[in-house]
């Protein structure tokens, strides 16, 4: 697969927002998983009809590959400017793959309180789950070879774009 | 020779000293500590990184505060912590340092936090663990003799960066008993590594190490001259219990010349911060009006110290 074969990120985001409108609780808190999910949560809060507080979560301290890979460089600070206990929450991420980041995010959330409910919104669902986790709202589904990563980028003017990289990190064709 | 605290791939294996610790590793520790500060503000002040790991606080020299901060940091990472005040147990029965280490390693220790009166004791333990192929056990120096106290140096750096951002434009003064201070040595190395252009030590000649200028600092015996234009003033504790012989006329005389008062602090920049590693001797090296005043960041240093130690432990245990 090449980056050219990927769906347009902005159109996919519009499709995701369309699925969420009317389905997401009017006061649901949007929590973006750093870094791609955080950009998407900011955008969705403006696109949805409702009052949606936005928070950000960095799952570095809850990842299950810490023993193998060590601590990630430059972890960001989780910032949840609302009470998690009793809130209806939508976790937002760019790409749903193994489900391990979402597992880590849910674990972290419970250290802030017991939410009323948690839903999951993702821009891309690329299959390949290793945990029993499914998204509530999906922008697009995509089959991708396991040695490739899909990466969401944000340009300086705010426009979002998807690209493909070798899973090691080097840029794919 | 390879830096003994780095492993074959250049990652941090032990934290023994800030001397020759590469800037990118120092910066990584400071960056990692930032999100740990906010963990302490949650209802659940714990993350699961060191779950199932056993951390031994090996204190051959008493220090309730340093031991407590390491204990809190390890517990907030979900480790099991065992505190051993060895000064009053095994060694009085004749056991050697390395025998003590071997016994604790046989209890499946994952990390040793070592405080020792002899310079180099944590190095010795780290070398012993490497030589006996137990590299998975990490060692953190929690203060050794007059040599170093790297986590204190790192928390000082974190505090300075928090309030002053860019080291490359700062003038920092370290005041008082530099001779006996491992805190001062670690901080000088860290400040130099991060590119601080002007580091000063201020004190009577009897309390400054010989050839301290070789560390790249400027020496002032006159406190007023040394404080002029400083962004950061680090006061050191007058270490009475280490003082042998008569290096000083009296504590009162010391305060007159080298105690930080509101009046002397006015010689520094108007937004200068005042730091102290604790425990403070009020009225000896620092006046209460300064310690409790608006320039003081002494209590934030304590808070940041927990986060910095969490960062060090979680980076080490992951390497």
Res. B20: pLDDT tops 50: yes
Is B38 an 8 Å CB contact of chain A?
yes
C-alpha B311 chain-centroid distance: 14
Cβ distance A78 to B28 less than 8 Å, yes or no, reads no
Structure ipTM: 0.88
Of chain B, the percentage scoring pLDDT greater than 90 comes to: 83
Q: Which two tokens stand for residue B109?
A: 């220790």
Distance CA B68, CA A141 (A): 51
- The distance of A69 to chain B (nearest Cα, Å) reads 7
Interface test with B, best of A38, A55, A58, A61 (most B CBs within 10 A): A61
Q: Are B54 and B109 in contact (CB under 8 A)?
A: yes
Distance CA B133, CA B112 (A): 16
Q: Which residues of B touch A111 (CB under 8 A)?
A: 42-44, 46-47
Cβ distance A70 to B11 less than 8 Å, yes or no, reads yes
- The DSSP element (H or E) to which A101 belongs, if any, is helix A100-110
CA torsion A64→A69→A74→A80, rounded to 10°? Answer: 0
Q: If you measure CA to CA, which chain B residue comes closest to A69?
A: B318
Residue of A67, A69, A76 with shortest CB distance to B35: A76
Q: Which residues of A touch B34 (CB under 8 A)?
A: 75, 77
Domains of chain A with CATH codes: 8-66+75-145 (3.40.50.2020)
Residue of B35, B42, B43 with shortest CB distance to A75: B35
CB pairs under 8 A between A and B: 51
Res. B91: pLDDT tops 70: no
Res. B263: pLDDT tops 70: yes
pLDDT (0 to 100) of residue A170:
44
What are the pLDDT digits (tens) for B29-67? 999 999 999 999 898 999 999 999 999 999 998 888 899
Is B99 an 8 Å CB contact of chain A?
no
Q: Which residues of B touch A107 (CB under 8 A)?
A: 48
- The distance of B120 to chain A (nearest Cα, Å) reads 28
Average pLDDT, chain A: 93
- What residues 45-84 of chain B have any CB closer than 8 A to a CB of chain A? 46-49
What are the pLDDT digits (tens) for A128-158? 999 999 999 999 999 999 999 999 999 999 9
Cβ distance B35 to A79 less than 8 Å, yes or no, reads no
pLDDT (0 to 100) of residue B248:
73
Q: How confident is the model at residue B244 (pLDDT cuts 50, 70, 90)?
A: low
Is B315 an 8 Å CB contact of chain A?
yes
Is B40 an 8 Å CB contact of chain A?
no
Q: How confident is the model at residue A3 (pLDDT cuts 50, 70, 90)?
A: low
pTM (predicted TM-score): 0.93
pLDDT (0 to 100) of residue B239:
74
Report the DSSP beta bridge partners of residue B275: B234
Cβ distance A61 to B42 less than 8 Å, yes or no, reads no
Q: If you measure CA to CA, which chain A residue comes closest to B319?
A: A70
Q: If you measure CA to CA, which chain A residue comes closest to B313?
A: A71
- For the segment B282-289, the average pLDDT, to the nearest whole number, is 95
Domains of chain B with CATH codes: 23-148+303-318 (3.40.50.1370), 150-297 (3.40.50.1370)
- The distance of A123 to chain B (nearest Cα, Å) reads 26
In this structure, of B2-16, B69-83, B133-147, B298-312, the range with the lowest mean pLDDT score is B2-16
- How many Cα atoms within 13 Å fall on the side-chain side of residue B150? 26
> Would you put residue B212 in left (φ > 0), alpha (ψ -120 to 50) or beta?
alpha
Q: Could you tell me how many residues make up chain B?
A: 319
Average pLDDT, chain B: 93
Interface test with A, best of B6, B42, B310 (most A CBs within 10 A): B42
Is B25 an 8 Å CB contact of chain A?
no
Interface test with A, best of B26, B41, B48 (most A CBs within 10 A): B48
What are the pLDDT digits (tens) for A33-68? 999 999 999 999 999 988 999 999 999 999 999 999
Q: Which residues of A touch B39 (CB under 8 A)?
A: 61
DSSP string over chain B: ---TTB-TTS-BS-B--STT--HHHHHHHHHHHHHHHHHTTSSS---STTTT-EEEEEESS--HHHHHHHHHHHHHTT-EEEEEEGGGTGGGGT--HHHHHHHHHHTT--EEEEEESSTTHHHHHHHHHHHTT-TTSEEEEEEETTTB-HHHHHHHHHHHHHHH--GGG-EEEEES--TT-HHHHHHHHHHHHTT-SEEEEES-GGGS-TTGGGGT-EEESSHHHHHTT-SEEEEPP--GGG--S-SSS-HHHHHHHH-B-HHHHTTS-TT-EEE--S---BTTTB-HHHHTSTTB-HHHHHHHHHHHHHHHHHHHHH-
What are the pLDDT digits (tens) for B153-207? 999 999 999 999 999 999 999 999 999 999 999 999 999 999 999 999 999 998 9
Q: Which residues of A touch B318 (CB under 8 A)?
A: 66-67, 69-71
Is B319 an 8 Å CB contact of chain A?
yes
Q: If you measure CA to CA, which chain A residue comes closest to B12?
A: A70
Report the DSSP beta bridge partners of residue A138: A122
Instruction: Report H helices in A21-93.
Output: 36-47, 66-69
Three-state secondary-structure class, residue A92: strand
- For the segment B294-301, the average pLDDT, to the nearest whole number, is 98
């Amino acid at each position: 697969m090449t980056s050219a074969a990927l769906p347009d990120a902005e159109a996919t985001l519009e499709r995701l927002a369309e699925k969420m409108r009317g389905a997401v609780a009017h006061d649901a808190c949007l929590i973006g998983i750093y870094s791609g999910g955080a950009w998407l949560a900011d955008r969705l809060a403006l696109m949805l009809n409702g009052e949606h507080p936005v928070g950000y979560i960095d799952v570095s301290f809850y990842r299950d590959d810490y023993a193998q890979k060590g601590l990630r460089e430059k972890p960001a600070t989780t910032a949840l400017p609302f009470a998690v206990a009793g809130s209806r929450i939508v976790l937002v991420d760019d790409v749903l793959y193994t489900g391990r980041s979402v597992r880590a995010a849910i674990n972290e959330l419970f250290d802030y309180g017991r939410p009323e409910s948690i839903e999951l919104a993702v821009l891309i669902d690329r299959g390949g789950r290793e945990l029993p986790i499914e998204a509530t709202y999906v922008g697009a589904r995509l089959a991708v070879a396991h040695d490739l990563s899909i990466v969401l980028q944000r340009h300086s003017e705010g426009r979002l774009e998807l690209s493909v990289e070798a899973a090691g990190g080097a840029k794919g064709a | 020779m390879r830096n003994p605290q780095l492993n074959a791939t250049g990652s941090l294996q032990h934290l023994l000293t800030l001397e020759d610790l590469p800037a990118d590793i120092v910066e990584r520790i400071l960056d990692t500590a930032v999100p740990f500060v906010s963990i302490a503000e949650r209802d659940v002040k714990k993350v699961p990184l060191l779950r199932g790991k056993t951390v031994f606080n090996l204190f051959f020299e008493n220090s309730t505060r340093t031991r407590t901060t390491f204990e809190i940091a390890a517990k907030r990472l979900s480790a099991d912590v065992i505190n051993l005040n060895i000064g009053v147990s095994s060694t009085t029965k004749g056991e050697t340092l390395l025998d003590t280490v071997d016994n604790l390693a046989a209890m499946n220790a994952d990390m040793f936090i070592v405080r020792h009166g002899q310079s180099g004791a944590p190095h010795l333990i780290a070398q012993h663990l490497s030589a006996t192929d137990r590299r998975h056990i990490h060692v953190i120096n929690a203060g050794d003799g007059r040599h170093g106290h790297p986590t204190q140096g790192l928390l000082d750096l974190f505090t300075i960066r928090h309030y002053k951002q860019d080291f490359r434009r700062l003038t920092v003064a370290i005041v008082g008993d530099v001779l006996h201070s491992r805190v001062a040595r670690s901080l000088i190395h860290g400040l130099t590594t991060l590119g601080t252009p002007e580091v000063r030590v201020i004190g009577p000649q009897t309390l400054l190490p010989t050839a301290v200028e070789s560390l790249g600092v400027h020496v002032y015996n006159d406190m007023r001259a040394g404080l002029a234009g400083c962004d950061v003033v680090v006061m050191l504790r007058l270490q009475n219990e280490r003082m042998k012989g008569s290096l000083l006329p009296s504590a009162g005389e010391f305060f007159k010349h080298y105690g930080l008062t509101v009046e002397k602090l006015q010689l520094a920049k108007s937004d200068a911060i005042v730091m102290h590693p604790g425990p403070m001797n009020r009225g000896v090296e620092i006046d209460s009006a300064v310690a409790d005043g608006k320039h003081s960041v002494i209590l934030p240093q304590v808070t940041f110290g927990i986060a910095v130690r969490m960062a060090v432990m979680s980076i080490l245990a992951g390497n």
